Amino acid sequence: MGNVFITPQWFFGYDILLEVLFAVITLLVSFYAWKIYKISGERNIKLFSLAFFFIAASYIVQSVLNFIMMARLDDDICGLIKLQDVYLLNLFGIYVHAILFLIGLLLLAYVALRIYSLQTFILLFLLVFSALYFSPYKTFLLYMLSAVLLGFIVYYYLRNYWATRKSTSLIVLIAMILLFIAYLQFIFAMDNSTYYVIGHILELIAYILVLVNLLFILRVGKQKQKRKNGKKT
């Protein structure tokens, strides 16, 4: 596996709280994106909502398992629990988090490809998870694959902003750039755990930007609907 425990000792506990916060924010992103989809009927928004649902699920699993692991480490009767058990619990958390998180990123990349083919998605899924399964360095490869997918997603949103020049498109672009930089930080964190903290902070800012942006879009959409309904009456 290699380098599973990259969290700085002083940060352990805070990262779990951040993961809970990530779960709440991304779940709200999924919820509000779904509401926008119900109004607009756009397929891309639907996939965006599903993508963040899987991302939220990944953080829920990760935070719950990390909390359990921390509770077991702090237990006074922890002498009966082998360190190997804690390692296996952490490893299981990494696997589940990786699967759910990468499905979310694959859905975002799927939107960027603009090829609405189930075969294309299955192919991407098999390629990504085959690489992850057979790699002895799963944590590193998770961060690497995430950075590659996010790089591609950033390129898509850059093109989208360049075509529309909308402030809402710019905010999403900035958020995706921050997520891309965050996962580059996680790659560097394999050697220096300080980057792990920086990556978490960038993630938090990125998810907040996406949520605020969706709330703004939803409010504008509702105002437009009210105007249309007012004109009809």
Question: Does some domain include residue 2?
Answer: no
Question: Does some domain include residue 1?
Answer: no
Q: What is the pLDDT of residues 71-117, one digit of tens each?
A: 665 554 444 455 566 667 667 777 888 899 999 999 998 888 777 77
Q: 3 falls in which pLDDT band (50, 70, 90)?
A: very low
DSSP 137-172: -HHHHHHHHHHHHHHHHHHHHHHHHHHH--HHHHHH
Question: Does some domain include residue 233?
Answer: no
* Residue 129, pLDDT above cutoff 70: yes
Total structural domains in the chain? 1
What CATH number corresponds to the domain at position 24?
1.20.1070
- pTM to 2 decimal places: 0.86
Tell me the two tokens of residue 226.
Answer: 């009210």
* Residue 157, pLDDT above cutoff 60: yes
Q: What is the pLDDT of residues 177-211, one digit of tens each?
A: 999 999 999 988 877 778 888 999 999 999 999 99
Residue with tokens 């799927």: 110
182, 206 contact by CB (below 8 A): yes
Question: Does some domain include residue 192?
Answer: yes
Domain region containing 93: 9-226
| pLDDT value at residue 124 | 84
Q: Mean pLDDT, to the nearest integer, of 10-39?
A: 89
108, 151 contact by CB (below 8 A): no
| pLDDT value at residue 148 | 93
Question: Does some domain include residue 181?
Answer: yes
Q: 118 falls in which pLDDT band (50, 70, 90)?
A: confident
Tell me the two tokens of residue 206.
Answer: 């990125």
Question: Does some domain include residue 4?
Answer: no
| pLDDT value at residue 7 | 67
CA-to-CA separations, 106 to 3, 101, 110, 193, in angstroms, rounded: 25, 9, 6, 27
For residue 18, count other CB atoms closer than 10 A to its CB. 18
| pLDDT value at residue 232 | 61
| pLDDT value at residue 1 | 36
